[in-house]
Amino acid sequence: MFRLFRRDREKGAAIVEFAVILPLFLTLVFGVMEVGWMFAQQVEIRNAAREGARLAVVDYGTSGTIITAVCDRADLSGDGADVNIAANATSVTVTVSNSYASLTGFLDPIFGGIVMSSEVEMRTERPLDTLGGGGSGTCP
């Protein structure tokens, strides 16, 4: 009789423990997902900046053409990315920056408003004909 009474008293304990642990577990799972997504976007921004600098160094075209090519290569985070190209006699610097686009929206109070940026500088081997002093633009 005592065992039956004890089981009835502890019947709702598992649900209470689950309710306490669930928010922590979801925060951990979504946090891992968001950090992975953020890392993927940062790698892509870095690759787009490197590709833009490479295109500028090989005299691919005007700064507008290079900005369009950089925007085309930034698939995950290309919308609204700012691209800036600065050229002088010896080097070209391409800067790509964009706001973090959340995957789940669950942790926007923590990750919202983060701006990711990458700057790549490459040395030119010869004078650039079409680039001029550089330029800037925003991806559509």
Counted residue by residue, the chain has a size of 140
114 in helix, strand or coil?
coil
Q: What span, in angstroms and rounded, lies between the C-alpha atoms of 11 and 33?
A: 34
- If you search the block for the tokens 């929206």, which residue do you land on? 105
CB 111 within 8 A of CB 78: no
Q: How confident is the model at residue 1 (pLDDT cuts 50, 70, 90)?
A: very low
Task: Read off the DSSP letter of residue 20.
Answer: H
Q: List pLDDT tens digits, range 43-81.
A: 999 999 999 999 988 878 888 888 888 888 877 666 788
Q: What span, in angstroms and rounded, lies between the C-alpha atoms of 55 and 17?
A: 57
92 in helix, strand or coil?
strand
Q: How many CA atoms, within 13 angstroms, populate the side-chain half-sphere of residue 58?
A: 8
Percent of the chain whose predicted confidence (pLDDT) is above 70: 87
